[in-house]
Amino acid sequence: MQLLHKVGRNPIIAAVRRPEELADALSSPVDNVFFMGGTVTELVQSVRLTKEAGKGAFVHLDLIKGLSSTDRESLEWIAKYAEADGVISPKSHIIKEAKRFGLYGILHLFIIDTAALENGLRLCRQIDPDGIELMPGVVDKVIRTFSESLNDKLIIASGLIQTCEEVNAALDAGATSLSVSNKELWNITFDQLNESNLL
């Protein structure tokens, strides 16, 4: 199943930086959790709880203490022992390797200028990630360019998203979902956004 079809009913992905934030993410209506911090020991427990709650678990490889963000062995460990659904990384070789272990691979891109935009689009076409996480998530023009150029990919806006208006703007620009650490936004559903747009 393509990752695009696993996003779920809600536009928000809970970006969890500390284990103590997980309970709030699991009690919210989000369908997926991005693990953006913690240790390998904490990760195993957190992924288990996330899967038991029926939510997807994705690991930002560069941000977990005890994992190498450059080794394929880390991917094998995430797949076999942590049993996560996928990984997030800015490293193209990690994204390519993830598929070999049955993991979804989300390419994390910082788009800070035109060169980064062009390089990011070229890289996505070369390595064919399952999804692309774009930072900062409040740059509508960048989101629109990626969503129009790579319309069969999951486009995740991430970074600096603090309000419902910014959520709507990113979705209107073509984002499929948003990875946010602001807990106040974790309860937003597509239905609520559609209702607010009708008012």
Q: What percent of the chain has pLDDT over 90?
A: 81
Query: Does pLDDT of 1 surpass 50?
Result: no
* Residue indicated by tokens 């990626």: 146
What single string gives the DSSP state of each residue in 55-97? -EEEEEGGGSBT--SS-HHHHHHIIIII--SEEEES-HHHHHH
Question: What residue type is assigned to position 161 of the chain?
Answer: I
d(CA 142, CA 21): 30
* Residue indicated by tokens 């319309």: 151
Contacts of 60 (CB under 8 A, 6+ apart): 34, 35, 36, 87, 88, 89, 108
Coil, strand or helix: which one is 34?
Answer: strand
Give the model's pLDDT for residue 198. 44
Coil, strand or helix: which one is 113?
Answer: coil
**Residues 67-85: tens digit of each pLDDT:** 988 888 999 999 999 999 9
Query: Does pLDDT of 199 surpass 60?
Result: no
**Closest residue by Cα to residue 7 from 75, 79, 120, 85:** 85
Give the model's pLDDT for residue 128. 94
Average pLDDT, the chain: 92
Give the model's pLDDT for residue 9. 75
Give the model's pLDDT for residue 5. 56
pTM over 0.75: yes
**Residues 102-149: tens digit of each pLDDT:** 999 999 999 988 899 999 999 999 999 999 999 988 889 999 999 999
